[in-house]
Amino acid sequence: MDLDFTSQQQAFRAEVRAWLRDNVPKTPLASYDTREGFEQHRAWEAKLAEGGYSSVIWPKELGGRGSDLIEWLIFEEEYHAVDAPMRVNQNGILLLGPTLMEFGTDEQKARFLPRMARCDDMWAQGWSEPNAGSDMAAIASRAVRDGAEYVLNGQKTWSTRAVFANWLFGLFRSDPQSSRHQGLTYLLVPLDAVGITVRPIRALNGKQAFAEVFFDDVRVSVSNRIGEEGQGWNVAMATAGFERGLLLRSPARFQRTAKRLMELYRRHQQAADRDPSIRDGVLKAWMDSEAYNLASYHTVSRLAKGYRVGAEASTNKIFWSELDLQMHETAMRILGPRAELVDDPEVHDWLEGFLFAQAGPIYAGTNEIQRNIIAERVLGLPKS
């Protein structure tokens, strides 16, 4: 065991730090759930891509740096240490990107990946449907083959930032006789295609964070299909694996929140110490965010030695989403009666974060589903 970074890793850290120092916007951007904020974030992502930081783990020829996951963790530490903006094209970069690299044709890679890295295209994820939430295999939106095209009908929902995005990747049932995991096809759909209606859905905070997407005889080219017809489930599961794992939420993000929580506590310590559970909460935030970081370095070190991450990745999702809730609840306790004031500068980010933390145990596979996966696929317990 050796926890010292190599000189190459140290040099990478220094380079990232210097670049971020020179480039991170000096004033915070507007919320990316507004049109204005979305465009600001998009401009920032384009700048990241110019610096080669859009996704450090992507290969060099696709605009990445060919970093391993240790460098990725280093990048994330530096990124969150300076409170750089939230990432707005994660769906593309983290979910679709790796899928294209694994299953896409050369033509598809060339067509989509560089534009994705630069944020010329913004991607929305189209898995969920009104009757296919936790039970994703119940997808009913149809894709009917007609020559060199598919004709899409049906509805997707909860598609994050589909209001502002211009492309959607999703699963459609191409074999009407099929059921469950069979007969699904993975398609890329331009959101400005004829027959698409995007209806915004307002989230808890009142903003248009996600949308319903309706398909009415929408025609997409067969060249927009990833993998074989009817193989969409396997293709999609590869990205769901990435999502549940480490990449969606790096530990640095939570370490940053735990640090902010400690700062908040210290500013209000006298009042907060009337309730010993507040201090417990602040300490737990530090412990759990450190633990998540250590577990991540442990995992990526094992990956580097050739281990595979399987269903145990589900523990990540449970751990970070519950940590995020706990930290924001503790902040609410410290802020006390002021915690409800949306325009209070000390409150604003905590309150928004508190609302968003409520969604953490729901999106990217609910925590109940994750617990079932751990119990059944890792612990080997019988299915109910």
Ligand X SMILES: Cc1cc2nc3c(=O)[nH]c(=O)nc-3n(C[C@H](O)[C@H](O)[C@H](O)COP(=O)(O)OP(=O)(O)OC[C@H]3O[C@@H](n4cnc5c(N)ncnc54)[C@H](O)[C@@H]3O)c2cc1C
Q: Give the residue numbers annotated as catalytic, written as ranges.
A: 243
Interaction of residue 384 with other proteins, rule CB under 8 A: yes
Residue choice 32, 158, 167, 169 for contact with ligand X (CB under 6 A): 158
Give the residue carrying structure tokens 């530990």.
251
Interaction of residue 240 with ligand X, rule CB under 6 A: no
Angle at which helices 69-81 and 251-267 cross, to 10°? 30
Q: What are phi and psi of 4, to 5 degrees?
A: -85, 140
Interaction of residue 381 with ligand X, rule CB under 6 A: no
CB atoms < 10 A from the CB of 166, how many? Answer: 14
Please state, in angstroms and rounded to a whole number, the distance separating the CA atoms of residues 347 and 333: 11
Please state, in angstroms and rounded to a whole number, the distance separating the CA atoms of residues 165 and 122: 5
Are 57 and 72 spatial neighbours (Cβ–Cβ below 8 Å)? yes
Residue choice 43, 193, 201, 291 for contact with other proteins (CB under 8 A): 201
Interaction of residue 34 with other proteins, rule CB under 8 A: no
Residue choice 189, 278, 323, 373 for contact with other proteins (CB under 8 A): 278
Give the residue carrying structure tokens 């211009």.
166
Give the residue carrying structure tokens 């700048």.
47
Q: Least distance (Å) from other proteins to the CB of residue 153?
A: 22
Which segment (93-101, 122-130, 233-241, 334-342) binds ligand X by CB under 6 A? 122-130
Interaction of residue 19 with ligand X, rule CB under 6 A: no
Residue choice 55, 141, 155, 160 for contact with ligand X (CB under 6 A): 160
* Residue closer to ligand X (CB basis): 228 or 368: 368
289, with CB counted inside 10 A (0-12, 13-18, 19+), is: buried
3-state secondary structure of 129: strand
Residue choice 297, 333, 353, 378 for contact with other proteins (CB under 8 A): 333
Q: What is the CA radius of gyration of the chain?
A: 21
Residue span 346-375 as binding mask against other proteins, x where in contact by CB under 8 A, dash where not: -----x---x--xx-xxx--xxx--xx---
Residue choice 260, 363, 375, 378 for contact with ligand X (CB under 6 A): 363
Reading the block at residue 247, the tokens are 């990449």
Reading the block at residue 380, the tokens are 């080997």
Interaction of residue 368 with ligand X, rule CB under 6 A: yes
Interaction of residue 48 with ligand X, rule CB under 6 A: no
Please state, in angstroms and rounded to a whole number, the distance separating the CA atoms of residues 134 and 209: 20
- Within residues 131-150, the interface with ligand X by CB under 6 A covers 133-134
Which segment (76-84, 102-110, 158-166, 220-228) binds ligand X by CB under 6 A? 158-166
Interaction of residue 279 with other proteins, rule CB under 8 A: no
Long-range contacts for 200-206 (Cβ within 8 Å, ≥24 apart)?
200/163, 201/157, 201/158, 203/33, 203/355, 203/359, 204/355, 204/358, 204/359, 205/33, 205/352, 205/355, 205/356
Interaction of residue 214 with other proteins, rule CB under 8 A: no
Interaction of residue 264 with other proteins, rule CB under 8 A: no
Interaction of residue 140 with other proteins, rule CB under 8 A: no
Interaction of residue 274 with other proteins, rule CB under 8 A: yes
Interaction of residue 325 with other proteins, rule CB under 8 A: yes
* Residues making contact with ligand X (CB under 6 A): 125-128, 133-134, 158-160, 210, 359, 362-363, 366, 368-369, 372
